[in-house]
Chain A
Amino acid sequence: MGAVNFGYGISAARGMDLDRNDLGPAREIADEVPEFRACIACGGCTATCTAGNLTSFNFRMVHTLVRRGEYAGAYREMNKCMLCGKCRLVCPRGINTRGVVMQIKRKLGDY
């Protein structure tokens, strides 16, 4: 069923194994942008996303996966972001979303 988008790198068959995932890089990102931990997954960022209007890009899902230690594809996905900053304006938790994008790209660029 092509219409269902399971995000990136995570197929329906594969669950997350938090015993195995290395949360180090996620922690480093959160240290740079502390509000990163404050997300309540409201999806406002994804709803307003300029890039998400044109392509399948889901900032909320990508960074949530990063917080769980699922890094595969995160860099490629974050490169879809135009950094316009609308998400930062709608975020009810005041998260520096653009900072999160840049940190994920810099920290996870090798994945």
Chain B
Amino acid sequence: MDGLTFYSGFVVPFIVGTSVLFAVIVYKYVRWFARLPRRDKLSVRRGMFSGATVAAAWECLMESLLHRRIWRVNPALGYMHTSFALGWFLLIAVGWIETVAYLGGRFVPLQGHIFFKYFTTELQHGPRWGVNFEAVMDLLLLYVLSGVALALFKRLRSRAMGMRRTTQLRMGDRVAMASLWFIFPMRLLAESFTSGIHGSGGFLTGGLGGVLATVVPAGVMPIAELGAWWGYSIALGVFFVSMPFSRYMHIFTEIPLIFLRRWGVRGEVGREKSFDHFQLEACSRCGICIDPCQMQRDGGMTGVQSVYFIRDRRYNRLSRRMADSCMACGRCEAKCPVGLELDTLRVGSRYTLNNTPSNDRWAYARGGNGRSDIAGASLPSETAQVGYFAGCMTLLSPRILRAMESVFAAAGEDVWWADREGGVCCGRPMKLAGEVDAARDMMKLNEELFRRHGITTLVTSCPICLRVFREDYSLRGIEVLHHSEYFQRLVAGGRISLKAGSERLTYHDPCELGRGCGIYDEPREVLRAVGELAEPSETREEALCCGSSIAGNAIGGVAQTLMGRAVGRAFEATGASCVVTACPLCKKALARGTELPVLDLAEVVERHLMTAADSK
């Protein structure tokens, strides 16, 4: 009808690139999905026809296109990501509408949409459907170009973007990144040449085209035009081919990740699984995880943060040192704009690198042969409904133990002390080190111990134990409580009363208790009852790690001390006269980092217990 053809030699790189990209992506996704365990597939089937799918679609819009979470952390970085994602998406979508607006329902091959300007010079220009498409498309192109400019600036001056460090690149990334930066300037050039020759184009391409037409000799214009279109197509083709092998794979991968997550698929703590691929390749390597990492910030350990770990694991270059160099404090995870389970991924790799068969290695703890039995608790009680598991670290903190004794006595609680004379470790340190099989066996020993004593409540002072009891133990019929939750209940239930005081206290959220188990309010409630609570600048979900995390097997004493000092300074800045925490390990670490007295919550409760004499 109009004699339009949609073929020219320069479209070949684009067609090849697109085909390769499509094939690789389909291959990857199908393979990863097929390898998901049955449980996950069932979960997907159930979730697919539920509200979760709508929620996932909405999340894709908000995150994959608008990048809301990146905006929240760093607006400049957010603008960069949005300009690429939303801008490019709109260029494609609006371009599609433009094609339809000009050509109606007629079939146009893919390259016809992409190189629309080149193939449709014979068309009547001007608005269609009341929309000046040329101006809109130019505006969008300008939007994306502003993002490209920002990206270039970021490469040169990451500090100016509010990031102390930016990520290092691999070969595939370099190729993809260079081609990506060329795509939009080439497109501008190509469309401008065409506009210059045909007197078409919007304010940007038309304007630039006009300028080009005056400076470039008329004879050279068509050659330059074709060259620019070739350049544009090659840039696209190279980008698409390199994309699945570069960090830009995140552009597509975030979408299946969001859907799978909404449908209930999760990584497995302590094991690598197929779902991890979706997480690894959904990482855009934005580097937002670097700044919150205290190992980088205070401990002088660089190059081991989550972004580097994910890169190395994705390209199968993971070293044990990289896998082990993490405190699993969860600070980066809380900030990750893609919501990756960074700690889970890291611990999973430790399993792969470090796990060895358990080989019944804890047989020695099972008693018999005249050796101690782990049931050797010092205060056996036939009647106790409440068990108390101090935890290994608490055993080195007699002030916590004494405080627990006082509180139990004040509440009239009949308590069985499960590990007073020492016991078997809860197994979480072993699990976090990657020795998951041996950890599992260790856990069984304690499970048996708790069940044998017929308790209905298990209180622990150690958040590390608490988390593993909740996440890994099967303790049906036994409610597991951290002492902070237990105290809060005792107070709320009127079983103990606390004397109010005027001391200004500050509270340190232990990682395993806060980000790990979501317990933020109970300790604060108890503290507010006895004094004034001053929060440090980074608190609750953003709380600092004490630096001595049990997961930090590759972190030396010097780094621990440096981090401890930095945390100590943060607490000193609150003007509080005392630092309170709720973890024996944090307590020891903080005591090294500050001159302020450091107390466990249990000690604070003990000091403020209302006695009969007080209540008179």
Bound-complex Cα distance A86 to B324 (A): 19
- Chain A residues lying within 8 Å of B585, measured Cβ to Cβ, are 85, 89
Contact call B321/A86, Cβ cutoff below 8 A? no
- Asked if B108 CB lies within 8 Å of chain A CBs, one says no
Most chain A CB neighbours (cut-off 10 Å) among B374, B395, B421: B395
Interface size class of B (residues with CB under 8 A): 35 or more
Bound-complex Cα distance A105 to B585 (A): 25
Q: How far is the CB of A25 from chain B (nearest CB, A)?
A: 15
Bound-complex Cα distance A33 to B556 (A): 7
Contact call A83/B361, Cβ cutoff below 8 A? no
Bound-complex Cα distance A101 to B358 (A): 16
- Chain B residues lying within 8 Å of A51, measured Cβ to Cβ, are 364-365
Q: Select one of A90, A96, A102, A106 contacting B555, CB under 8 A.
A: A96
Interface positions of B (Cβ within 8 A of A): 320-321, 324, 354, 356, 359, 361, 364-365, 371-372, 374, 392-393, 395-396, 421-425, 427, 429-430, 433, 435, 438, 442, 550, 553-558, 560-561, 585, 588
Contact call B556/A83, Cβ cutoff below 8 A? no
Q: Total interface residues on A, using CB and 8 Å?
A: 29
Q: Select one of A34, A54, A84, A106 contacting B320, CB under 8 A.
A: A106
Q: Taking CB as reference atom, which chain B residue is nearest A90? A: B396
Bound-complex Cα distance A40 to B425 (A): 26
- Chain A residues lying within 8 Å of B320, measured Cβ to Cβ, are 106
Contact call B556/A84, Cβ cutoff below 8 A? no
Q: Select one of B354, B427, B442 contacting A102, CB under 8 A.
A: B354
**26 pairs, CB–CB < 8 Å, chain A vs chain B:** A32-B321, A48-B396, A50-B425, A51-B364, A54-B364, A54-B365, A54-B371, A54-B424, A79-B361, A82-B424, A82-B425, A82-B442, A83-B430, A83-B433, A84-B393, A85-B392, A85-B393, A85-B550, A93-B557, A96-B553, A96-B555, A98-B429, A98-B553, A99-B324, A99-B553, A109-B356
- Asked if A5 CB lies within 8 Å of chain B CBs, one says no
Q: How far is the CB of A64 from chain B (nearest CB, A)?
A: 19
Q: How far is the CB of A49 from chain B (nearest CB, A)?
A: 9
Bound-complex Cα distance A51 to B438 (A): 14
Bound-complex Cα distance A33 to B324 (A): 12
- Chain B residues lying within 8 Å of A79, measured Cβ to Cβ, are 356, 359, 361, 438
Most chain B CB neighbours (cut-off 10 Å) among A79, A84, A86, A106: A84
Contact call A96/B424, Cβ cutoff below 8 A? no
- Asked if A95 CB lies within 8 Å of chain B CBs, one says yes
- Which 7 A-B pairs give the minimum distances between C-beta atoms? A94-B557, A55-B364, A84-B425, A82-B425, A84-B392, A53-B422, A83-B429
Bound-complex Cα distance A105 to B355 (A): 11
- Chain B residues lying within 8 Å of A34, measured Cβ to Cβ, are 556
Q: Taking CB as reference atom, which chain B residue is nearest A49? A: B422
Q: How far is the CB of B583 from chain A (nearest CB, A)?
A: 12
Q: Taking CB as reference atom, which chain B residue is nearest A38? A: B557
- Asked if A68 CB lies within 8 Å of chain B CBs, one says no
Q: How far is the CB of B349 from chain A (nearest CB, A)?
A: 14
- Chain B residues lying within 8 Å of A86, measured Cβ to Cβ, are 392-393, 395-396
Most chain A CB neighbours (cut-off 10 Å) among B361, B392, B554, B588: B392
- Chain A residues lying within 8 Å of B556, measured Cβ to Cβ, are 33-35, 96, 99
Q: How far is the CB of A71 from chain B (nearest CB, A)?
A: 17
Contact call A54/B555, Cβ cutoff below 8 A? no
Most chain B CB neighbours (cut-off 10 Å) among A33, A35, A48, A54: A54
- Chain A residues lying within 8 Å of B553, measured Cβ to Cβ, are 96, 98-99, 102
- Chain A residues lying within 8 Å of B561, measured Cβ to Cβ, are 94
Contact call B361/A80, Cβ cutoff below 8 A? yes
Q: Taking CB as reference atom, which chain B residue is nearest A79? A: B361
Q: Taking CB as reference atom, which chain B residue is nearest A34? A: B556
Bound-complex Cα distance A82 to B464 (A): 14
Contact call B372/A80, Cβ cutoff below 8 A? no
- Chain B residues lying within 8 Å of A96, measured Cβ to Cβ, are 553-557
Bound-complex Cα distance A35 to B421 (A): 30
- Chain B residues lying within 8 Å of A82, measured Cβ to Cβ, are 424-425, 427, 429-430, 442
- Chain B residues lying within 8 Å of A48, measured Cβ to Cβ, are 396
Bound-complex Cα distance A85 to B553 (A): 10
Q: Taking CB as reference atom, which chain B residue is nearest A55? A: B364
Bound-complex Cα distance A79 to B360 (A): 10
Contact call A105/B425, Cβ cutoff below 8 A? no
Given contacts A89-B588, A96-B555, A102-B433, is CB(A54)–CB(B372) below 8 Å?
A: yes
